[in-house]
Structures are given as C-alpha cells and as structure tokens.
Amino acid sequence: MLKLNGNYLKMPGSYLFAEVARRAAAFSGAHPGADVIKLGIGDVTLPLPRACVDALKRAADEMGSKDTFMGYGPYEGYDFLREAIVEHDYAPYGAKIGADELFISDGAKGDCGNIGDIFSQDCVVAVCDPVYPVYVDANAMSGRAGDFADGRWDNIVYMPCTSDNGFFPALPERVPDLIYLCFPNNPTGMAATREQLRPWVDYANEHGSVILYDAAYRAYMTDPSLPRSIYEIPGAENCAIEFGSFSKTAGFTGTRCGWTVIPRALRRGGESLYDMWMRHQSTKYNGTSYVIQRAAEAVYSPEGQAQVAEMIGYYMENARVIRQGLSAAGLETYGGSDSPYIWFRAPEGQDSWSFFDRLLSEAQVVTTPGSGFGPSGEGFIRVTAFGDAARTREAVERIKSIL
Ligand code: MLT
C-alpha cells in the first residue's frame, strides 16, 4: 500500500500565516462592513521601484524578439545579477564573497526550507525561539524535528530569545549540526552586532556545525556599525550559508527573487557544500526567470538605489509610528529601529492568540500572534511596518483605544 510521508502527518495545524489569514477572513465574513487593517504577514504594499518595472519591460521585449530571446538560464543565475549583488551587498562591507559563490533563487523562503536536502536526516537543528516558522516546519517535514507535543518538537534545539537575554540566543549546550540565525530578526525585530555574532562563528567552526544565516531584512538596518552579512565575521566562510532576498528590500514579495551564498571554502566530510547545492539546484530547479533577474539587477542602478532608499524610508517611518505609539500607550515594545517588525508584550499577561483575537474583533487590526513563532513567543504580538502609512497610523490609534 502507498505510504505517505508520515512527517507531514505530525505537523500541528496549518502554516502560521495561513491560520492568521483564515481567522481574518472568518472575521470579515461575519462582519461584512468591518474596515479591517492588515498588519499581520510581512507583505509589502508599495509598488515595485520604477527602475525595476522599466527593466522588467525591457527584458520582456527582449523575450519577444528572436535575436534577444533567452531560454533556460544558468542554474546558478545570470552573471550580471550575481556580480551586481557582490559589488553592492558584499564588497562594500569587506565580505570577501565571489559571484561564483552565489545562487540566484526565487526568494529566501524556498532555499531556507530546501537547503536541508543536502544534509542528513539525522542532523540536529537549532533555532532561535521565537523563529520564522519555515525553518522548523521544513525540518519537521524532513523528519528532523521528532514529535510535536505541548507546542514544541522534541528533537529541535530551541534557543530562547527573551527580554532577559536581549532577544539574542545563548550558545546551546547540546551541539547542533545546523543552526538557523536570522538578523535583523523575524519576528522580534532585533538586530545583531559583530560582537554577538563572532562567538557563533567560532562555535560553529569548533564543532563543525553549519550556520544558516537569513539576512532577508538587512536593508532595514539603520545603525551603520551593524554587520549586514555573516561574512563580515572572520571565519564565517568556513561555516555559514547565507540567504538574501529582494522581497523586503525592493518589494519583490510577489515578484520573487533572492539568493543563497555558499562559500567555496565551506566543506563538511570532505565534500563541497557548494557542489552539493549545485547538484540539488540543477536537478530540481530551472532558475529564476530572465526578466525577473533583470528587474532585480535594476535595484542596484543609481535610480533603483534611490527608489529603494525612499521605499525603505517610508516603511521605517511606519515602524517609528508603531513603536512610538505603542510605547507611549504603555506597552513593552521591541524592534522597529533596525527592522520592519515591532514585537510587543500583550497587556495584562494575555496570551498571544487571545490578544490577537481581541485586536481583530475590537480594533479590526490583524497582527501575528507571537506564540505562532515558538514557545518563547507566547504573550507577544508582532506588527509589520509594511502597511500603508495612513492605515498604519489609524491602526495604532485603534490599538491604543482598546487598551
Ligand atoms: C513574515 O511575515 O514573516 C514574512 O512575510 C513571511 C515570509 O517572508 O515568507
């Protein structure tokens, strides 16, 4: 008899943002006139930068002419985009990454989940708690998480990130093979310093672990002293894989483009992880389309850079409005200064889903419940700064009015 992947059958409920969307839709269905403001999933609301749209159109025209038409692209992505990423996102920060160490992807989410394919099912995985649910769910689907009970998987190493440790994890006692780190962090909105990251790189090199570093929110760092990439930390080229994305940097959540860096120096068991990922990608993936890669390249043009800076400034002003408004209302609030997420403690010890439901029913504001990101997220709520500015101000006023 055909057997299913039993790991899927162990998964609790639905994907976090699917459940948030389900509850928001149920509320709107029951209250057709309600004016609901969505600050739940971190989806952007501004249109693509003009430079990207123009590049997309030019590339579409190229696809319509026999002389310039492009068929299958390189599995690792076109050189023009890989070189632009290195020139603008790595070289200026002293990160010695070559274009031949990058793979263009359709965004960080897929690669963060699929990278597990090149590692054994026996690998022990460590995650920050709370954490972007993709890392945990993808490893659970691959059989690395063990069994789920009381809100946690028994074979995942959870590294609590709480107000007591400044939302930065301590090095774990049980040594993991794979360590997911994400800074600026989703969901807490906290960024990491060089001094905080250095011991992680040393620890991974000492124990042979691999750090899976998600830098999807790097464009939101305002403090120039903060590292934009794990490769700014000496030795990271021997122990870290990094994921980058145009989703939040340039509004590509629907357009889809990102990248993964696997340094040539990164080897385990004598094998090159770059070569293994190339084997994976060339077997299972035919690349991000040419037109999208041209649109992403335009992010780095002078016009693109100016338009992206304006877009990020708009969202960061939202972040300031949310953070200041909620703090002034007496809420314990974090993040929002080097990140587009604001993380706050629900008042009066309410649990995350109860306060989420209250915000939805009484303020008609959709947020994300902290407990959906892991056990240590219980009692917290995440708000995104990616909304419309006027609607964001309105949401903050509504939240304040129900406190
Ligand atoms: C989030 O809200 O955490 C993100 O938008 C999800 C994602 O990037 O996939």
- Could you tell me the CATH number of the domain that includes residue 262? 3.40.640.10
Q: Tell me what pLDDT residue 13 has.
A: 82
User: Are 39 and 118 in a shared domain?
Assistant: no
Alpha carbon distance 248, 243 (integer Å): 13
**Which alpha helices (DSSP H) does 72-193 contain, by range?**
79-85, 108-114, 133-141
User: Are 74 and 179 in a shared domain?
Assistant: yes
Which atom of ligand 1 is found nearest the CA of 187? Answer: 3
**Which alpha helices (DSSP H) does 349-388 contain, by range?**
352-358
Domain count along the chain? 2
CATH number, domain of 361, equals: 3.90.1150.10
Amino acid at residue number 8:
Y
Q: Give the distance (Å) from ligand 1 centre to CA of residue 74.
A: 28
Residue 142 belongs to some domain of the structure: yes
User: Are 342 and 354 in a shared domain?
Assistant: yes
Residue 64 is encoded by which pair of tokens?
A: 């319509």
User: Are 382 and 336 in a shared domain?
Assistant: yes
**Buried-state track 198-232, b at ≥16 Cβ within 10 A, e below 16:** bebbebbbeeebbbbbbbbbbbbbeeeebbbbbbb
**Which pTM value belongs to this model?**
0.97
| pLDDT > 70: percent of the chain | 100
Residues ≥6 apart with Cβ < 8 Å to 291: 56, 59, 60, 63
Residue 4 belongs to some domain of the structure: no
What's the burial of 70, exposed, middle or buried (CB within 10 Å: 0-12/13-18/19+)?
middle
Q: Give the distance (Å) from ligand 1 centre to CA of residue 43.
A: 7
* pLDDT, average across residues 210-223: 98
Q: Tell me what pLDDT residue 252 has.
A: 98
pLDDT in tens, 141-197: 999 999 999 989 999 999 999 999 999 999 999 999 999 999 999 999 999 999 999
344 CB neighbour count, 10 Å cutoff: 26
Residue 159 belongs to some domain of the structure: yes
Residue 207 belongs to some domain of the structure: yes
User: Are 229 and 259 in a shared domain?
Assistant: yes
Q: Give the distance (Å) from ligand 1 centre to CA of residue 42.
A: 5
- Pocket residues for ligand 1 (CB within 6 Å)? 41-43, 109, 132, 186
Q: Give the distance (Å) from ligand 1 centre to CA of residue 316.
A: 17
Q: What beta strand segments (E) does 262-298 contain?
A: 267-268, 271-272
Alpha carbon distance 217, 96 (integer Å): 20
Residue 278 belongs to some domain of the structure: yes
Residue 8 belongs to some domain of the structure: no
Mutate to test the pocket of ligand 1, among 17, 217, 315 (most ligand atoms within 8 A of CB): 17
Residues ≥6 apart with Cβ < 8 Å to 69: 62, 63
Average pLDDT of every residue of the chain: 97
| pLDDT > 90: percent of the chain | 99
Q: Tell me what pLDDT residue 108 has.
A: 97
pLDDT in tens, 295-326: 999 999 999 999 999 999 999 999 999 999 99
- pLDDT tier, 14 (very low <50, low <70, confident <90, very high otherwise): confident
Residue 127 belongs to some domain of the structure: yes
User: Are 349 and 377 in a shared domain?
Assistant: yes
Q: Give the distance (Å) from ligand 1 centre to CA of residue 271.
A: 32
pLDDT in tens, 52-102: 999 999 999 999 999 999 999 999 999 999 999 999 999 999 999 999 999
Which atom of ligand 1 is found nearest the CA of 384? Answer: 2
Residues ≥6 apart with Cβ < 8 Å to 189: 334, 335, 336, 337, 338, 339, 340, 341, 342, 343, 382
User: Are 144 and 254 in a shared domain?
Assistant: yes
Q: Give the distance (Å) from ligand 1 centre to CA of residue 309.
A: 21
Does the structure show a pLDDT above 90 at 244?
Answer: yes
Q: Tell me what pLDDT residue 235 has.
A: 98
Determine which residue's CA is closest to atom 4 belonging to ligand 1.
Answer: 42
Alpha carbon distance 261, 380 (integer Å): 32
Alpha carbon distance 340, 39 (integer Å): 11
Residue 207 is encoded by which pair of tokens?
A: 């124990």
For residue 373, give its domain range: 14-43+303-402
Residue 350 gets which letter from DSSP? -
* Furthest C-alpha separation in the chain: 66
Residue 154 is encoded by which pair of tokens?
A: 């028994």
Alpha-carbon Rg of the chain, whole angstroms?
A: 21
Which atom of ligand 1 is found nearest the CA of 17? Answer: 2
Alpha carbon distance 147, 138 (integer Å): 14
- Give SS3 for 50: helix
- pLDDT tier, 294 (very low <50, low <70, confident <90, very high otherwise): very high
Does the structure show a pLDDT above 90 at 3?
Answer: yes
User: Are 263 and 185 in a shared domain?
Assistant: yes
Closest CA to 167 of 377, 366, 11, 2: 377
Q: Tell me what pLDDT residue 305 has.
A: 98
Domain-terminating residue out of 242, 274, 300:
300
Domain-terminating residue out of 300, 329, 346:
300
Domain-terminating residue out of 271, 300, 329:
300
Residue 260 is encoded by which pair of tokens?
A: 């993964």
Does the structure show a pLDDT above 90 at 400?
Answer: yes
Mutate to test the pocket of ligand 1, among 41, 214, 243 (most ligand atoms within 8 A of CB): 41
